[in-house]
Amino acid sequence: MSSDESALEAVAALRALADIGDGVQAAEAAPQAEVEGEADAGAERDRLAYLLDRLPAVTFSAEIRGGLREVFISRYLEKLLGYTPSEWLSSPILWYQRLHPEERERWNVEFARVLALGETVEATYRFMARDDSVRWIRGSVSIQRDSSGAPRYVQGVAVDVTEQMLAQQEVERTNALLEEQMEQTSQANEELTRANDELRNLAYVTAHDLKAPARGIAHHLEWVEEELLEEVGELSPAVREHLGKMRVRTQRMQDMIQGLLAYSRIGLTAPQLEHIDLRQFLEQIFEDLSDETPMRMRCECRVSSLNADPAELRMVLSNLISNAKDHHPAPDRGLVEVLVEPDESPVGRRASADRRRARFVVTDNGAGIDPQHHVRVFEMYRSLTGGTGIGLSMVKKAVELKGGKVELTSEPGAGATFVFTWPLGPELEADEHADG
């Protein structure tokens, strides 16, 4: 039985008990012929009192005449507060003494409203048990009036809601803690965003400002070489070797500066969406890179088209293909294959039509990458073979800004496979088996 059901039964029983009490008092003033009716009323009162004693709630009745004096309280009181009914009834003010001091003013106001307006009050108060522990008690109190309309009895029922109140307080504390943590997280995210913006701006400004000095060094190196040739006619092998190293390192520095500029620009501007025919798009990339490598390149498109910024997608694919080209031990026997298919991962299948993605798989037959380096290859300036180490970090950043991630599968001697997803774009869905 719930606490609310117990309360309803207890209130009904109390009203019946009060009615019986009034009947008994009326019987006391009646002739001797009505003594039998008094006995029946007494038996009914005993039956209801027996019922009230077994309810999981405290039921009580107090007479208002001559001050508030409790005339009945059920035995559940002892389980709730540790006092027997006889102890409670023998001290007219014990109930007020055990009412928590912080609750007394509120109780006075609410009980005055009960007397003045005859309203039923339902409220939760704290009481001090015999052992001074605090119990939260939810009470429902109402007034029973006599035939003249004057208040006669205060009747009520009280149930123990300590566990519920403690649980509620714990929930409130947890919510307050979560709100505080969310606020701290929000502030941390704002600070991180601001720091990232500052760092990106710093990288852009630094790289931009370094371009001119780097070009100046390259030009001065050419001038030094020309002057030496005019003066001595022919350069010694050692001088040629040193000048060659300087040219290589100067070019590497310029490449790194250019890469840093490109990396810092990713995500700075709004994408310029265009309808892209993927087969034509990939074949154009292959053609542009064909002058740089004898590697064979081919594609299979199970997604015919998407709506994207061609410059962004070209940068990702070009870097992945160039990475295969640059690290292949025998480029003339090299092969790069690009597969484009619908994203059928669990997340991809659950996505709404306007959030569907294409899955790009770029595979080469090169030397492969040891699994211990799979994380390192995506870090800036962490090339395994002496390159700038920026290309794959640019790929990772661009893909993640589109809500995807890059996965690498590779073993030494078994080539490498890079997989990433890219949004199909608004109002476009994957066209499966586009190559027929």
Same domain for 237 and 281, yes or no, is no
Question: DSSP of 165-205, one letter per residue?
Answer: HHHHHHHHHHHHHHHHHHHHHHHHHHHHHHHHHHHHHHHHH
Residue-level pLDDT at 299: 92
Mean pLDDT in residue range 51-59? 78
Mean pLDDT in residue range 61-84? 85
pLDDT tens, position by position, 369-398: 888 888 777 776 555 555 556 778 888 888
Residue 289, domain CATH: 3.30.565.10
Last residue of a domain, one of 160, 187, 219: 160
pLDDT tens, position by position, 29-47: 444 445 455 566 566 667 7
Tell me the percentage of the chain whose pLDDT exceeds 90.
23
Residue 51, domain CATH: 3.30.450.20
**CB-based contact 327:320 (threshold 8 Å):** no
What does pLDDT average to over the chain?
78
| Domain assignment of residue 315, yes or no | yes
Cα 325 to Cα 314: distance, rounded to the nearest angstrom: 16
**CB-based contact 374:394 (threshold 8 Å):** no
Residue-level pLDDT at 14: 45
Same domain for 69 and 116, yes or no, is yes
Lowest-pLDDT range of 13-22, 46-55, 411-420: 13-22
| Domain assignment of residue 431, yes or no | no
Same domain for 232 and 342, yes or no, is no
Which structural domain range is residue 317 located in? 274-423
Pairwise pLDDT comparison (419 vs 199), residue with the higher score: 419
Residue-level pLDDT at 432: 46
Mean pLDDT in residue range 201-227? 70
Residue-level pLDDT at 7: 45
Instruction: Enter the DSSP assignment of 386.
Output: S
The DSSP element (H or E) to which 12 belongs, if any, is helix 3-28
Buried b (16+ CB within 10 A) or exposed e, 98-135: bbbeebeeebeebbeebeeeeeebeeebbbbeeeeeeb
pLDDT tens, position by position, 219-253: 777 887 788 888 777 778 888 788 888 877 777 66
Same domain for 341 and 408, yes or no, is yes
pLDDT for residue 16 is more than 50: no
Residue-level pLDDT at 17: 44
Closest of 267, 276, 269, 272 to residue 428, by C-alpha: 276
Last residue of a domain, one of 160, 187, 210: 160
Cα 135 to Cα 163: distance, rounded to the nearest angstrom: 9
| Domain assignment of residue 375, yes or no | yes
Last residue of a domain, one of 208, 238, 265: 265
Residue-level pLDDT at 154: 85
Mean pLDDT in residue range 16-29? 43
Residue-level pLDDT at 13: 46
Same domain for 289 and 192, yes or no, is no
**CB-based contact 241:278 (threshold 8 Å):** no
Mean pLDDT in residue range 361-367? 89
**CB-based contact 61:14 (threshold 8 Å):** yes
Tell me the percentage of the chain whose pLDDT exceeds 70.
74
| Model confidence band, residue 19 (pLDDT cutoffs 50, 70, 90) | very low
Same domain for 296 and 235, yes or no, is no
Q: How far is CA 272 from CA 125, 311, 340, 402, 429, in A?
A: 65, 8, 21, 14, 19
| Domain assignment of residue 183, yes or no | yes
Residue-level pLDDT at 10: 46
| Domain assignment of residue 436, yes or no | no
pLDDT tens, position by position, 311-325: 889 888 988 988 888
Residue-level pLDDT at 97: 92
The runs of H, that is alpha helices, within 266-341 are 278-290, 310-326
Pairwise pLDDT comparison (119 vs 17), residue with the higher score: 119
Name the token pair of 294. 């004898």
Amino acid at 325: K
Residue-level pLDDT at 319: 86
Phi, psi of 153 (to 5 degrees): -130, 150
Q: 3-class DSSP state for residue 312?
A: helix
Residue-level pLDDT at 125: 93
Same domain for 356 and 385, yes or no, is yes
| Domain assignment of residue 192, yes or no | yes
| Domain assignment of residue 65, yes or no | yes
Phi, psi of 335 (to 5 degrees): -145, 130
| Domain assignment of residue 429, yes or no | no
Q: How many domains does the chain have?
A: 3
Same domain for 15 and 155, yes or no, is yes
pLDDT for residue 155 is more than 60: yes
Is the pTM here over 0.75, yes or no?
A: no
Residue-level pLDDT at 208: 56
The DSSP element (H or E) to which 362 belongs, if any, is strand 357-364
pLDDT tens, position by position, 287-306: 888 877 788 899 999 999 99
Cα 236 to Cα 387: distance, rounded to the nearest angstrom: 29
